[in-house]
Structure 1
Amino acid sequence: MQYFPLFLDLKGKPVLVVGGGEVASRKVDSLVRSGAIVTIVSPQIDPFLQKLVEDGECIWVQNFYSQDLMNEKYIQVWATTDNPELNHQVHHHAKSLGILVNVVDDQPYCDFITPSMINRGRIQLAISSGGASPVLVRNIREKLEAALPQNLSLLADFGASKRSDIKKVMPSVDLRRKFWERFFALPQVDSATSSGELESAYQGLLANEVDDAGSVTWIDFGEDVELLPMKALRYMQEAELVLYSQDCPYAFVDLVRRDAERETYRSHTELAERLVAAREESLRIVVFVSPNSNQHNLLKQRDLHLALATTR
């Protein structure tokens, strides 16, 4: 992984953009939307930027760039001119002050890059190839745009509005997580078009006790991660503990929920002992096993009395 993915809070923070053309317009538009205090340095600027300046959305220094305009107060610096030599000067001056800098379309001179974004209100998805293939990223974005429901913004706003309320009802983080997993899996929530519909589903689910019991799901990892069934993927996203053999390709493990605990087992005995301990903690467990493994029968013979849900 070449770049560390990060969403940065720029609200009220100063950002310097050198250049005033079409490229600068795209960057300044996103920066202004994020609440940054943008200063543009350029003798001339595009009409779009001119309108932002007139509306008080950003500051324009109507001049050629010079080193004295670089200041440690800036959180980010963007070099967007069509003059590579000038852009590299901006990069050098920013680096000398320890400021993160991006020279647009010149990856070796970038401390950070901007991903392709999908916005659904509070929900933001970032897609990046590390600058390797913008066209591939665009294709991925198009597929995701078509697949993602349009009510994601509504769902996110509703979830945010209930953060305090749900804590009063369910003080446990684990219980709240399980509640929201059940809530967002409801068909009426998936198709909701109003907060009233979501409130009805929310109150209905609150009336039912959240199942806090643990479970064990066996998943054959096989050779092709793309052959995993949807049901297996759902269990993998709900798992709190993942146990996998040393021969399991990590591509399978990597699809499990990010905050799940991951452990390798080296023997049937070690796996059996870990399952017993996890059962006492009421954890939801996923165990990756080889399709040719006889671990299922061996563990049953050990009489663990676990409720096994087999996913094939």
Structure 2
Amino acid sequence: MARLTAFPAFHKVSGRTVLIVGSGAAAAAKARLLGETDARLRIVAEAPGDELLGDAARLGAEVLHARFDVAHLDDVALAFAATEDETEDRRIADAARLARVPVNVVDRPELCDFTTPALVNRAPLAVAIGTDGAAPVLARHVRARVEAMLSPELGRLTSLAESLRGAVADMIPHGEARRRFWAKLFDGPVAARALSGDVAGARAEAVRMMSAEPDVAGFVWLVGAGPGATDLLTLRAQRVLQEADVIVHDALVPPDLIAMGRRDAHRISVGKRKGRHEVTQGEIGEILVREAKAGRRVVRLKGGDPMVFGRVGEEMAALSAAGVPHEIVPGVTAAFAAAASAKAPLTLRGLSSSLVFATGHDLDGRTLPDWAGLALGGATVAVYMGRTVAGAVAERLVEAGLSLDTPVAAVENASRADETIFAGTLRDLPALADRGDVTGPVLILIGRALAEAEQVDAAPIVPETARRTSAA
């Protein structure tokens, strides 16, 4: 994960003086931004324009018709240099630093002690979006999206929570019970009523919640992390990750997804890779039961969908036997992500009306697996974890009568930034197991419907060098 070059923080400016130096549009923009706070604004301008004077009058700001002087920094909490003249702005910045006043210089990030974010104001809630001065226009685009997401009434809910803090501190024990109370308040009937404008009803519901027995019971969510792309994680999965005290995750779940959990949540890796098991399945069940019995809320984070080759049945059985309440949170399974990336229909009217999820590791000696017969009948087959046994899969299907010309697609790291799509036929599939450049998880799709795929960016399953060598 990339590291920030600036640490975001909020300056206390209530009742304090903030200095803005400049006469034009840049100074007026800063005045409007600071006007969303209850700071006292001091504007120093040699020749203030009409826009700046209008904003200053509306905001009740003090306007000094003068060239900047160090005396203007007296009792100032923050300073903004917005003259749009580099030499003058640099002079103001130097003076502010000598006076130990943090300074922002408009459009000069190299001269700034701090940068101003794009601000979403739902006072007392504020969302600040910054790019450390690198791309302020992008920050404004993101702000527009966040503005659309957040109800204008969110400030009422925040104010209600602020008014309840003292009572909550008196009535609910410090620690997990109190954290869960707040989580339920912000994601339940109290929030719904406050956001609809019924503040009195929201307060009454909050008081009822405070009077109830504190919730300290353990719980487990068995969560599908999807194929790996953060924007394919479901909204429900994002929510429960923020509620979890413990995150028990597989090796194939990307760090960016794990990082979407609470920062203070305990992480436990139970990763399994081919030939390397950190923790046995039985031990995973024991971990889930142990953490839940200790009163913790646990997310068991699995790649893809937990119900598809995720061994979720064994974990559900362990939890049920121990009397631990649990819930399944589905995810986007790898077959759907791979098909979407390859632009390959999994079913096609008149050609393929069924879909089979299979794993190449269920090949038992020379026994033809049940799904092979369905492939012969026209079903599209999605083979999970099939790269190393690609040759055996192809051999068994051909022996059963499936044509060597049957279309095949293979997708490595489906949906991720390092995704690679391969295309070919059943004849080519054995070459996949021999490719040393394919190291990530691979999903193989086999079936006639794939002939309609738009695989314009797909690489051949058999490398061109291998084809030339074979032809020679």
Shorter-chain TM-score bucket reads 0.7 to 0.9
**Is 1:297 equivalent to 2:314 in the alignment?**
yes
Conserved 8 A contact 1:42-1:61: yes
Relative distance call for 1:203 and 1:98 in structure 2 (3 A) is: closer
Alpha-carbon deviation of 1:238?
A: 1.3
Q: Relative to structure 1, is the Cα distance of residues 158 and 109 closer, same or farther in structure 2, using a 3 angstrom cutoff?
A: same
* Contact 2:172/2:214, CA 8 A, preserved across alignment: no
Asked whether 1:34 is paired with 2:37, we answer: yes
Structure 1 residues 208 and 39, CA, compared in 2 at 3 Å: closer, same or farther?
Answer: closer
Secondary structure of 2:126's partner? strand
* Structure 1 equivalent of residue 132 of structure 2: 130
Q: What's 1:23 paired with?
A: 26
**1:14 CA drift (Å):** 3.4
Normalised by the length of structure 2, the TM-score is: 0.58
Q: Is the 8 A contact 1:244 1:263 kept in 2?
A: yes
After superposition, what is the alpha-carbon deviation per residue over 1:117-138, rounded to whole angstroms, capped at 9, x for unaligned? 1112211111223333333333
Q: Is the 8 A contact 2:28 2:55 kept in 1?
A: no
> 2-side partners of 1:220 and 1:56: how far apart?
50
C-alpha distance in 2, partners of 1:252/1:53?
46
CA distance in structure 2 between the aligned counterparts of 1:170 and 1:94, rounded to whole angstroms: 46
- Cα pair distance change 1:73/1:202, threshold 3 Å: closer
Moved more, 276-285 or 113-122: 276-285
Alignment of 1:269-280 (within 5 A): 271=284, 274-280=287-293
Structure 1 residue 302, shift from structure 2 partner: 10
- Asked whether 1:309 is paired with 2:327, we answer yes
Whole-angstrom CA distance in 1 between matches of 2:184 and 2:318:
33
Pick closer, same or farther for the CA change 1:97–1:245 going to 2, 3 Å.
farther
The 3-state SS of whatever aligns with 2:169 is: helix
Three-state SS of the structure 1 residue aligned to 2:128 is strand
Matched, 1:198 2:202: yes
Deviates more, 1:45-54 or 1:179-188: 45-54
Residue in structure 2 matching 1:158, options 155, 160, 164: 160
Q: Per the alignment, do residues 35 and 252 of structure 1 end up closer, same or farther by CA in structure 2, a change over 3 Å counting?
A: same
Whether 2:81 is the aligned partner of 1:64: answer: no
Letter paired with 1:213: A
Give CA-to-partner distance per residue, 1:87-122, whole Å, 9 cap, x none: 122223333444322110122222211111111221
Provide closer, same or farther for how the CA distance between residues 185 and 295 of structure 1 changes in structure 2, counting only shifts above 3 A: closer
Report percent identity of matched pairs. Answer: 25
> Conserved in 1, the CA contact under 8 Å of 2:26 and 2:84?
no
Contact kept? 2:90, 2:111, Cα under 8 Å: yes
Q: Which residue of 1 aligns with 2:114?
A: 112
Q: Is there any run of 5+ residues in structure 2 with no aligned partner, and where?
A: 272-277, 331-472
In the TM superposition, structure 1's runs of 4+ consecutive aligned residues that sit over 6 Å from their partners are: 51-56, 301-304
The AA in structure 2 aligned to 1:22 is A
CA distance in 1, matches of 2:23, 2:29: 10
Q: Secondary structure at the match of 2:242?
A: helix
1:214 to 218, 235, 243: 218
- The amino acid of 2:292's aligned partner reads R
Mark the runs of 5 or more structure 1 residues left unpaired by the alignment.
none
User: Out of 222, 247, 259, which is 1:242 matched to?
Assistant: 247
Whole-angstrom CA distance in 1 between matches of 2:285 and 2:264: 23
How many residues matched?
311
Deviation at 1:233, TM superposition (A): 2.0
CA distance in 2, matches of 1:37, 1:121: 18
Specify which structure has the bigger relative contact order, considering alpha-carbon pairs within 8 angstroms and separated by 6 or more residues: 1
CA–CA distance in structure 2, aligned partners of residues 278 and 109 of structure 1: 50
How far residue 252 of structure 1 moved from its aligned partner, in angstroms, is 0.9
SS at match of 2:119: strand
Q: CA deviation at 1:140?
A: 2.4
Q: What residue is the counterpart of 1:230 in the other structure?
A: 235
Contact 1:70–1:94 (8 Å) recurs in 2: no
Q: Is the 8 A contact 1:113 1:130 kept in 2?
A: yes
Contact 1:28 1:38 in 2 (8 A): yes
Give RMSD over aligned pairs. 3.2
Q: CA deviation at 1:205?
A: 3.5
Which of the pair has more CA radius of gyration? 2
* 2-structure distance, mates of 1:301, 1:80: 64
* Residue 10 of structure 1 pairs with residue 13 of structure 2: yes
CA distance in 1, matches of 2:55, 2:45: 14
CA distance in 1 between partners of 2:184 and 2:126 (Å): 22
Cα distance in 2 for partners of 1:272, 1:122 equals 43
Are 1:154 and 1:195, in contact at CA under 8 Å, matched by a contact in 2? yes
- In structure 2, C-alpha distance between the alignment counterparts of 1:253 and 1:209, rounded to whole Å: 32
C-alpha contact 1:32 1:57 (8 A) present in aligned 2: no
Q: Distance in 2 between matches of 1:303 and 1:53?
A: 65
